[in-house]
Chain A
C-alpha cells in the first residue's frame, strides 16, 4: 500500500509541494548520518513525538507520545506499509552481514534481540526472561521465556542461543563483539550459562540488537546452518520474511505465532532508495509511507507540516554524535598538532548556521554530551583559529612540506557544500583539504580498509561508553580512527570490568581526557533522527516491551514497527 491509500483514509489527497529549499535540504544530514557504519547506541535516549503550536517556527517541544495521540483511538489490525531505506544490505544474517540503519530497520521486524531498552534508556531483557551475572560479572546466566518459536517452528531455547553465539565467534567480522566469551553451557532447555575470560559488567548492553550490538539478534538454527541463510532470514520477530529482490524490495508479513501480541500491520515492504533526494521525493509523492532523516532543516520543514496536520514527525532523542574522523595512521594526521589545529579552526556556530541546526544540535567536547551521566571535562581544543595557524606553521617549518589532506564525504551536493565550509576554515590556517565525494558503500569500504585521511562520520559515542569499546580499544576490529594508548586500553578494560557506575565513570573520564588531548575525532554536535509518516500511521513512538511498559522506539535511525498501526 502506498501513501495514496493512507491518504484516502485520511481524507487528504494532494501531494506535498516540493520546494527548492526542501529539495536541497533533504540531501543534507540524512546522508551525513547515514554514512555512520559502526559504533554504539544511546541508552539514555527516549523517543518523543514532537508537538508544536500551528505556525510556530521555534525549537520543537518534546512531549510524551501519549499526549499527542487521541486516547480514544484503539489500534486495529490490517493494512500495509512501505518503508524507504537509505541503503540496501548485502544480506540479512545478523552475525555475518554489516548493517547500517536500513539493515537494522528490517532486522527489527524479522528478528528479536535478547535485550532492549526501556523508555528511560535502561537495558532490559527482551527475548530473555532474565540476564544475570555472578558477583564479579565473569559468569552470566541467560534465562529464556518459555514457548517462543522461530518463524520456521524451531524453538528458541538455550541451544539456539548457544548456536547464535557460536556463529558470532566464528564470524571474522563480528567475533570481537564476544571476545570475552570463553565457554557456554546449556544448563537446561531455557538456561544458558556463559563464562567470560574476564569480568564483563556491561554484557547485556551487547545484546540489544543495534549498530555495534548485532550479537543480540537471534536467528533460527536452520538459518545459521544454511550458507545462504542471510538471503531468507528466519527470526522470532513480529514479521516473517516473504521475499527479497535485492536493490528493489524486501517484504515481510505478520507472524501470527508471535510470542507477544501479534503486530497490527498485515505486511511491510522495505524499499532501498540510496539517493536521498529520490527517497524524500518518494515520500512527498506518497510512494513510500515511512521516511527517516537526520537533516535538521528537513525536520524543521516537516514539523511545520505536522502543525498543519499533514503528517506526523516522531523524533528519537540524541544518539551518536556527528563528527569528523581523522585517520591517525596516516600522515600528516599522525601528528597531534595537525589534529588539534584542525579541530581548533572549526567554527561550530558557522556549521549550525549552515545546517539550520541552531537550537537543535548540542555542541560537544567528546563522545558524550554535557547532559550525559558519562560526560567528563577534557582538554579538547576550543575554537582558536590563531592558535591553530601557529600549530600548522610549526608543523610545516619542522617537516618542510605544506599540510594537504583528503576529506571524504557523501555524494549529496548539500554534504559537499558542508565539507566546503570545513575546507574554507582549514584553508584559513594553511591546510589544503581536497574534497572527495563518494557513495555510502565506498566510504564505508574505504574506512574499513583504513584507506582514508579525514571523513565525515558518526556512530561513535552517545550511549554507555562500553558500547564504544570497539571504537577506542587497540585490540578490536573496529578502531577505525586507528588511535589508542595503553592507558586508554586499560581504562576501557577497567570500565568493562567494574560494575559500580561511579567507578566506571572515573575510568571513562580517563578515556575522554586522552581523546580530548589527542583529537582523533572532531566532534560537531549531537545527532537526531526523525521518522516521518502520514497522519494515519500511528504508534511509531509507541514500542512496547513484553511487560506492556514503554520501550525505546527509535534509536538513531533505527526503529520498531511491532506496535505501528493504521487509522482505518
Chain B
C-alpha cells in the first residue's frame, strides 16, 4: 500500500480534476445562467448587476481559481437560489445520504453473502440455479419500479413503514431506521446480484485451495470451513466491488431520495443541476468526491485486514 502522504496528494489531485470538470461542465450547459436567474425578459441593468455579482464576465479559469481559493479556507460560498451557505446546506444533508448508503451496502451484503455461499457450496444445483434466477430478476428490475413497489406493498398496503419522509437519528433511532429501510432496500437490491456472483466465484476458487482441503481432511464441518477459512480470503473481490459500487449508489440516491422525499445530498445535487446553481453543485461534488476517495482508501486498508499477505507485502 502507498504511504498516507501519497494518498492525500492523490486525493487533492482527484478533487481538483473533478471540481474543475464539473465547473467547466455547468458553464458549458446551453443557455445563460443570468437568464435562468432573472428570466428571459429581464432588463439589461438587472442582467449586468447579476453578472457582476456572480463575476460571470471573468474567464472560466479565473472563476475556478477564485472558487478553489475560497474553498480551501472552508468557504464554499452561498447558493444564489436559496441564499443558504453551501457548507451549512451540505452539513444538513450529508448525514441522511451517508446513513442511506451505509444501510444500502449492509442490506446488499447481507443478502449477497448467503446467496453466494449457498450457490458456491452446490454449484449447478437447483438452489444455485434458483438463486441465479432471483439475481437476474434483481438486475433486470429498474430501481424506480422497486421503490414504487416497496411503497405500495410495505407502506400503503401493509402500513409497516412510512411512505416518505425522514426521521433524524437524534429524534428516534427506531424511527430513523424505519424511515430509511425502504429507500435503502430500493438502493441496495440492485448490487446484490453483482456482489453475490463475484463472491460465489471467489468462494468456489477458494474451496479448491489446499488449506480448505486440509481443513476438510481434519473433519471440520462445512459451516466452520466456510465461515472460518474460506469466506475471508474470498472477500477481497466483493469488498473492492462494494467500494466501486459506492459511486453508482451515490448516483442512485438522486432517484431514491426524490421518490422517498428524503432531504439528502442526491436531491440537493439534482436541484443544483436543474437550477444551474453552480456553487451548490460544486459543494456537492467536493463532498461526494471526498467521500468516494475515502471509502476506496478504506477498502484498500481492508484488503490488508482481510488478507495478511497483502499487509506483509506492503510492509516489505
Which A residues are closer than 8 A to B by beta carbons?
Answer: 15, 17-18, 23, 88, 90-91, 172-173, 175, 227-228, 230-231, 245-249, 271-275, 277-279, 281-282, 284-287, 438-439, 441-442, 445-446, 448-451, 475-480, 482
Contacts and interface: CB of A to CB of B under 8 A. Distances in A.
Nearest to B257: A247
A18 B36 contact: no
Interface of B: 30-32, 35-43, 46, 49-50, 79, 81-84, 89, 92-93, 148, 151-152, 155-157, 159, 162-166, 258-264, 267-268, 270-271, 274-276
Given A227-B83, A439-B270, A285 B261 contact: no
A281 B31 CA distance: 36
B165 A228 contact: no
A441 B275 contact: yes
25 contacts: A15-B157, A18-B157, A23-B148, A172-B46, A172-B49, A173-B38, A173-B39, A247-B261, A273-B164, A278-B151, A278-B259, A279-B164, A281-B151, A281-B156, A282-B261, A285-B159, A438-B274, A439-B258, A445-B36, A449-B40, A450-B31, A451-B31, A477-B40, A478-B39, A479-B41
A230 B80 CA distance: 13
Contacts of A230: 82-83
Given A18-B156, A439-B270, A247 B40 contact: no
Contacts, number: 142
A285 B152 CA distance: 9
Nearest to A451: B31
Contacts of A173: 38-39
A272 B92 CA distance: 16
Contacts of A277: 148, 151, 259
A436 to B, nearest CB: 13
A278 B263 contact: no
B276 A278 contact: no
A437 B166 CA distance: 27
A400 B98 CA distance: 55
By Cβ-Cβ distance, the 4 closest A-B pairs, closest first, are: A248-B263, A247-B263, A450-B40, A172-B46
B49 A248 contact: no
B32 A278 contact: no
Contacts of A227: 83
A445 B260 CA distance: 24
A389 B86 CA distance: 53
Contact of A274 (B31, B148, B155, B258): B258
Given A90-B81, A172-B42, A248-B261, 5 more contacts: A246-B89, A247-B267, A274-B258, A274-B261, A445-B274
Contacts of A442: 274
Contacts of A287: 155, 162-165
B164 A231 contact: no
A368 B35 CA distance: 30
A477 B38 contact: yes
B31 A449 contact: yes
Contact of B271 (A249, A441, A448, A475): A441
Given A246-B92, A278-B260, A285 B40 contact: no
Nearest to A438: B274
B39 A451 contact: no
A480 B39 CA distance: 9
Nearest to B271: A441
B159 A15 contact: yes
Given A246-B89, A277-B148, A285-B156, A91 B40 contact: no
Given A449-B31, A451-B30, A278 B164 contact: yes
A442 B43 CA distance: 23
A248 B165 contact: yes
A285 B148 CA distance: 13
Contact of B263 (A15, A175, A245): A245
